[in-house]
Amino acid sequence: MKSILSFVVAAVLAFTIFSCSKTEVDSIDPNGTGGLTLEFDNYVGGTNMALGTAQYKNTAGESFTVTTFNYFVSNIELTKEDGTVVKVPNSYYLVREADPKSLNVALTGIPQANYAKVAFTIGVDSLKSQAPVTERTGALDTGSYGTDNMYWSWNSGYIFMKLEGISPASTISGKAFQYHIGGYGGGFQGAARTANNLRKITLSLGSTSAKVRAATTPTVHLIVDAAKALGGTNTISFATTPTVHSPALAKPIVDNYVNMFVVDHVHND
């Protein structure tokens, strides 16, 4: 009898502790903040991207290898379950497949809430693109990328996405292909205005919201399929279009890559 009573007491205590702990975790402080991480997981079709080694095929049936895959993510917005939009200030990040640290974008100072959507721009907006160089630091530092340079010094503009590689179908030297996508709709030193290739991506988090709390930093896991930049709305052939370096010629790829991003799942732990 004594053992049964002890078991009951222990069970009640455990339930009480669990309930209190759960309440603390789920409790939203209306004046509190927390963090949220965006994890960018780059793929080609149904395969995790491997630079320089793996062989893939585009929708034109041409085989290829990826050597460089970079893109800017900026002006991040989070939408609460009640529809309130929270804009993350000064949010500019360069995601590089060659740099594993860049694949996880850690946001801080996020108001505590349950978030149902995430939105961001692919590229760098016109105001920041034309801001004084002293205001363009971190990911926007125009001299910090070495061989992965993401800035056109000849046109004073950021490259929003860079996709490079090798394909037997290519007709240029070394069988290379190079897609450098930019253009924010502005001009430079009296030059004609470029095409506006900025695109905003808005994604639902699905049935699992991101619960930002003082003790909980959720991770939103995004799959980014580079193959969709080469096919979908428009089929890009390495044989006929091995390079794109001009904003005026980039629209077919831009119309494709807006569909590269999907939310795979959300971790709330």
Q: What is the pLDDT of residues 140-183, one digit of tens each?
A: 998 755 446 899 876 668 999 999 999 999 999 999 999 999 99
Do residues 24 and 32 lie in contact, with contact meaning Cβ atoms separated by under 8 Å? no
- What the block records as the tokens of 75 is 């002006």
Per-residue confidence (pLDDT) for residue 146, from 0 to 100: 47
Of 93, 79, 87, 75, the residue nearest 39 (C-alpha):
93
Quick: pLDDT tens for 46-81. 999 999 999 999 999 999 999 999 999 999 999 999
Mean pLDDT for the stretch of residues 98-124: 97
Containing 135, the helix (H) or strand (E) segment is none
Per-residue confidence (pLDDT) for residue 145, from 0 to 100: 54
- What the block records as the tokens of 175 is 């069988």
Question: Coil, helix or strand for 45?
Answer: coil
Q: Describe the chain by its helix, strand, coil percentages, rounded to 5.
A: 20, 40, 40
Question: Coil, helix or strand for 145?
Answer: coil
Per-residue confidence (pLDDT) for residue 194, from 0 to 100: 83
Do residues 73 and 120 lie in contact, with contact meaning Cβ atoms separated by under 8 Å? yes
At residue 4, does pLDDT exceed 60?
A: no
At residue 21, does pLDDT exceed 60?
A: no
Question: Coil, helix or strand for 212?
Answer: strand
At residue 221, does pLDDT exceed 60?
A: yes
pLDDT band at 191 (very low <50, low <70, confident <90, very high): low
